[in-house]
Structure 1
Amino acid sequence: MSKQPSSHRPRKRFGQNFLTDEGVIDRIAGAINPQPDDHIVEIGPGQGALTETLAPTGCRLDVVELDRDLVAGLLAAFSIYPGFKLHSADALKFDFSALPVDGEKLRVVGNLPYNISTPLIFKLLENAPLIEDMHFMLQLEVVQRLAAEPGSKHWGRLGIMAQYHCHIDHLFDVPPESFFPPPKVQSAIVRLAPRTTSPWPDCDEGQLRKVVQAAFAQRRKTLRNNLKGIIDSNALVALGIDPGARSETLELSHFIAITGALNA
Structure 2
Amino acid sequence: MNSARHSVFRSVAAHGILILYTVIALFPVFVIVINSFKSRRAIFNEPLALPTPETFDLIGYQTVLKQGDFFQYFLNSMTVTVGSLFFVLMFGAMAAFALSEYRFRGNLLMGLYLALGIMIPIRLGTVAILQIMVASGLVNTLTALVLVYTAQGLPLAIFILSEFMRSVSDDLKNAGRIDGLSEYKIFFRLVLPLVRPALATVAVFTMIPIWNDLWFPLILAPSEETKTITLGSQVFIGQFVTNWNAVLAALGLAIVPVLVLYLIFSRQLIRGITAGAVK
Which has the larger share of strand?
1
Which one has a bigger Cα radius of gyration? 2
TM-score in terms of structure 2 length: 0.22
Which has the larger share of helix?
2
